[in-house]
Structure 1
C-alpha cells in the first residue's frame, strides 16, 4: 500500500541544483537509506570552473553510493582510492570511523562540458559496523546483474532482489535497482523487505490508481505487492531494506549516537580525518551551528 509521496526539494550545493528527497520530515529513512539526492540533469558548459567541484569533505557512519546516468566525476578519498565514476557503474565508499573524499570534473567534461545526471545516496551502517575500517569499492556496469521482461530492463545496483544477488559488499539487507520501462511496462517492488520505495527519475508511472512524475518518491507500507506501470518511457529507482533504528545526522555525519557526531566535528576541525592522498590542498571547513552550510553531494 502506498503510504507517502515525497517530492524532491531543489537545492544548490555549489555549481548546480540537486533534488533532495531524503531525509524528509515525515520519513527520515527507507530501510538503511538515509540520504537521497537527484543530481541534475544539468548541461555543463566547456571549461567547467573548479568552483563546481565538490572539495574534500568528511563522513562517518555510512556508505556513499554514487550512480550516474550521464557524465563523469572523479572520486578521490583518504584511503588512496582514485576512480572515474561513469554511467552504470557502482562506487561504494564506506566511511566507517572516518573518511574524506572529493568529487571533481577532472575528465573530458572539464574541457568540453557535457551532461551530468545521477543519484547520490547514503546508506547508514548497522551499529556494530559504524566504526569499521574505511574502504572504497568500484564495480563497472559489466559486473552488475541485469534482468528484464517485456517492456522492462533493469540493473541490480546493490543487494538482493528479483532472485538476483549483487557483488557489491554491503552491511545490511537492502536492494537498490535502476529500471528502464517502456510505455506499458510493469515492475513490482520486492516484497521481502519491510521498507520500500520507488523514485521516478523521468517519465510517468501509475501506482495504486494514480500517476506520478519526475522528482517524486513513492514510499510503500506493509508487505503488499505494489506494481508500477509506465504511462510513458520512464526511469525509476527502486530501493529499501531492513530498518536500522534511529540515526542522528548532521552535515555529512551519521551515527546512532549524538556524542559520536560531536567527536566527528572535533576530528575534522583538528585534522584527525585525513584529506584525500591526491587532493589535499583544500577542503570544506566545518559549518557553523546552528545554520550549517549546504551539504556536499555525497
Structure 2
C-alpha cells in the first residue's frame, strides 16, 4: 500500500538537468534521506565548457552519496580527496562540522559521453552532526550483490534481506539498486519505519497501479511493500529510521536553525577551507555577488 507518490521536478544546473525528488513540500524526508536528485540522463559532447562543472560549495550536518549508472565524475574536497566515480561505485562524503567539494566532468569534457546517476543526502544523527569531515570511496566489487527471481542488484548502503554493506553509515538505513526483468518482483525490507522506491526507468505495478520513471513511491509503515516490473526496469529502494526534524537551506542541513546561520556566515567570510586542487573557485552563497570571500582559506 502506498501513502504517497512524489513526482520529480526537473531543473537545469547550467549544462544538464536533474530531477529533484526530495525534499518535497508534503514529505521532507524518507528515513534519514533528505535530498534525492536524479542526474540526467544526458549525453555530453566533447569539449563541454567548464561552467557545466559544479564548483566548490560547502555542506554541514549530512553525508552525500553519489551513485552512477553511466558516465564518470571527478570529486575533489577540502580533506584532500580526489576520486573519480564510475558506474556501480560509491562516493560517500560525510560533511559533519563542515566540508567543501566540487564535481567535475573531466572525462566527458575530453571525450564526450553519458552522465546518469543519483545524488542523495542523508542527515546525520544529532550526536554526529559535528563529527569530523571525511570521504570514502567504494568500488563496485566491494558491495554485496544479489541475483534471483528476475531481480539483480547491489546493496549500496545499510542492511537489507540478510545482506550488509561495508559502506559506513551513521543510522539504520537501506539503499538498493535493483534491475528487474519483466515480471520480476522486488520486496522492500521489513523492519524500517519509512520506505520508498524510485523508478529510474521502466514501469512497475504496486497494488494494481502502474508507476513510471521519475516517480518516488512511499510505502505504508508496517505493511508489505512489493513491486512488480511491467517491463525491464531500474529501481532504487531506500529508507530507514527517522531522525527527527531537520532544517535545510542551500547545501546546509542541521537540527538547529542557528547552526545553519553560522555556516552561512562562515562561508560568506571565507572560514571554510576550499579544495586545494580547485584553484580558489567557489559558489557564492545564494543572493551574494560573485566575489572572492574575505580571507579565503586554501
Pick the TM interval, shorter chain.
Answer: over 0.9
Check whether the contact 2:195–2:221 (CA below 8 A) recurs between aligned residues.
no
Matches within 5 A, 1:61-100: 61-100=61-100
Cα distance between partner residues in 1 of 2:243 and 2:287: 29
Runs of 4+, deviation exceeding 3 Å: none
Deviation at 1:146, TM superposition (A): 0.3
Matches within 5 A, 1:85-234: 85-107=85-107, 109-234=108-233
Cα distance between partner residues in 2 of 1:231 and 1:36: 24
1:36 paired residue number: 36
Q: Deviations over 1:238-281 (max 9, x none)?
A: 00000000100000000000000000001101111100121132
Deviation at 1:233, TM superposition (A): 0.1
Deviation at 1:123, TM superposition (A): 0.3
Q: Deviations over 1:181-206 (max 9, x none)?
A: 00010010111100000000000000
Task: Return 5+ residue gaps in structure 1 as ranges.
Answer: 290-298
Cα distance between partner residues in 1 of 2:46 and 2:207: 44
Cα distance between partner residues in 2 of 1:16 and 1:161: 33
1:266 paired residue number: 265
Task: Return 5+ residue gaps in structure 2 as ranges.
Answer: 289-298
TM-score calculated relative to the size of structure 1: 0.95
Deviation at 1:15, TM superposition (A): 1.0
| Alignment size in residue pairs | 288
2:295 paired residue number: none
**Which deviates more, 146-155 or 239-248?**
146-155
**Which deviates more, 152-161 or 11-20?**
11-20
Q: Does 1:17 align with 2:13?
A: no
Cα distance between partner residues in 2 of 1:195 and 1:280: 42
Deviation at 1:222, TM superposition (A): 1.4
Cα distance between partner residues in 1 of 2:128 and 2:171: 10
2:253 paired residue number: 254
Cα distance between partner residues in 2 of 1:280 and 1:190: 45
Cα distance between partner residues in 1 of 2:126 and 2:207: 36
1:295 paired residue number: none
Distance 1:66 1:133, change over 3 A: same
Cα distance between partner residues in 1 of 2:229 and 2:25: 28
Deviation at 1:164, TM superposition (A): 0.3
User: SS of the residue aligned with 1:278?
Assistant: helix
Cα distance between partner residues in 1 of 2:266 and 2:88: 34
Cα distance between partner residues in 1 of 2:240 and 2:60: 21
Deviation at 1:31, TM superposition (A): 0.1
1:294 paired residue number: none
Deviation at 1:101, TM superposition (A): 0.1
Q: Deviations over 1:4-53 (max 9, x none)?
A: 00000001122111000000000000000000000010011111111100
Q: Deviations over 1:40-76 (max 9, x none)?
A: 1001111111110000000000000000000000000
User: SS of the residue aligned with 2:283?
Assistant: coil
User: SS of the residue aligned with 1:264?
Assistant: helix
RMSD: 0.8
Cα distance between partner residues in 1 of 2:224 and 2:48: 45
